[in-house]
Amino acid sequence: MKFSRIFTRILIGLAVVLVVIGLFVLKTFKDAGQFKTIKSHCDCQCTPVDGIVGPEDITIDPETKIAFVSSDDRRASERGDSVQGAIYAYSLNPSSPFLTNLTTDLPFAFHPHGITLYQSEEGRKYLSVINHRDNDHFIEIFEFTNMKLNHLESINGPLMTSPNDIISVGPRQFYVTNDHGAVSSRGRKVEEYLQLANSYVLYYDGSEFRKAAGDIAYANGIAISPDGRIVYVAAVVGRYIRVFERDGKTGILTHRQDIDLGTGVDNIEIDEQGTLWVGSHPQMLTFVKHSGDASVLSPSQVLKISSDSDGTYNIKEVYLNTGEEISASSVAAVYRNRMLIGAVFDDHFLDCTFSE
């Protein structure tokens, strides 16, 4: 009888463990969006722009109507076959569009990720780029002039362990997201699947890095309002955008609110009117499969987020695709009625025109 009671308790304990594991798996699938129905739609016409691999981030200079595109063959790097990445210029002039590699002669390994464009009061334009070199992470600062990128300097620091995206607030002052708190590959996987809020934002004041904000579930894209007062940080695993008030003198970020979006938000771009455009991954586990196998399509999504005077945000899904037109959308940059959609791995980006 005693053995029977012990055996029964063991069975009950195992059953409880299995139920807990099952519920955790279901929650993970639900949070990742795996149960969503994807029906492609967009009130726009899109044309693929070929000849560019891994166009993960895009930002537009409204003055010159030039889009800067960050390109890197991430799958080749995973295979150990490192291919030099590039920053491309893409003209938004409808009569003469062109795609030009602006970084053909860099004397160092170049694997660009997030990018940001800053214009000084004197009109000088600086493009800052996260670069994952073979042995460390750097911020490469370029000056854009006469359709050329002139490399000015490389900045790195021990706090910048997993940089993802960047936003400049000066010629050599910027915020950068560290998308993981853990350094090891195993630790980062634990953060992702347990949805741990261990990532953070760094601020570089021109001389040193310091932590500006923390407790973010996979900090990814970052953007700043046109007046420089609000900083937006995308949390992929958390499925929200965190809104911060920024102290322009000290660079300190104060958490104001979260915009819950229920999707894997990636990069954030802000147009001239202050509207947020967000490239997203509506099914994050499918994205993980896609990252390892190009034949697995990953749905793409673009959200448009505008704010009211009372501080509320209006969210509109302007683009959704099963992944056939473009897989794993990571950014949407908008100028007037044009929208450029980039992706993490695909060999093209989309140039879309909204219907009038």
- Give the pLDDT confidence of 25-46 residue by residue, as tens digits: 666 666 667 767 889 999 999 9
Q: Are residues 292 and 312 in the same domain?
A: yes
Q: State the Cα–Cα distance between residues 329 and 35, nearest whole angstrom.
A: 19
pLDDT digits (tens, 9 = 90+) for 7-27: 677 777 777 777 667 766 666
pLDDT at 189: 86
113 in the same domain as 20: no
Which residues, at least 6 apart from 176, have a Cβ–Cβ distance to it below 8 Å? 114, 130, 139, 160, 163, 164, 165, 166, 201, 202, 204, 222
Q: 131 and 161: one domain?
A: yes
Which of the two residues, 262 and 81, has the higher pLDDT score? 262
In terms of domains, do 227 and 271 share one? yes
What's 102's domain CATH number?
2.120.10.30
**Nearest 5°: CA angle at 336, between 96 and 170?**
95
Q: How far apart are CA 319 and CA 43, in angstroms?
A: 8
The closest of 178, 48, 65, 50 to 117, measured between CA atoms, is: 65
**pLDDT on residue 183:** 86
Q: Which of 40-44, 141-145, 181-185, 253-257 has the lowest mean pLDDT?
A: 181-185
Can you say whether the dihedral through the CA atoms of 280, 286, 289, 290 is positive or negative? negative
Q: Which residues are catalytic?
A: 113
Q: Is 76 found in the same domain as 24?
A: no
Residue 5: which pLDDT band, with cuts at 50, 70 and 90?
confident
- Residues 255 and 323 grouped into a single domain: yes
- Identify whether residues 56 and 20 lie together within a single domain: no
At 195, is the pLDDT very low, low, confident or very high (cuts 50, 70, 90)? confident
Question: Do residues 202 and 280 both lie within one domain?
Answer: yes
Same domain, 124 and 236: yes
Task: Report pLDDT for 12.
Answer: 73
Q: Provide the domain limits for residue 183.
A: 40-354
User: For position 89, what pLDDT does the model report?
Assistant: 97
pLDDT band at 88 (very low <50, low <70, confident <90, very high): very high
Tell me the CB-side half-sphere exposure of residue 229, using CA atoms within 13 A. Answer: 3
Domain tally for the chain? 2
Domain identity same for 46 and 15:
no
Whole-number pLDDT of residue 186: 86
User: Both 277 and 187 in a single domain?
Assistant: yes
Residue 196: pLDDT over 80: yes
Average pLDDT over residues 229-239: 96
The mean predicted confidence, pLDDT, of the chain is 92
Assess whether 21 and 98 both reside in one domain.
no
pLDDT of residue 139: 98
Task: Using only the alpha carbons of the chain, give its radius of gyration.
Answer: 21
Give 291-339 pLDDT, tens digit per residue. Answer: 999 999 999 999 999 988 777 899 999 999 999 999 999 999 999 999 9
Residue range 228-241: average pLDDT?
A: 96
| Confidence band, pLDDT 50/70/90 cuts, at residue 208 | very high
More confident residue, 6 or 174: 174
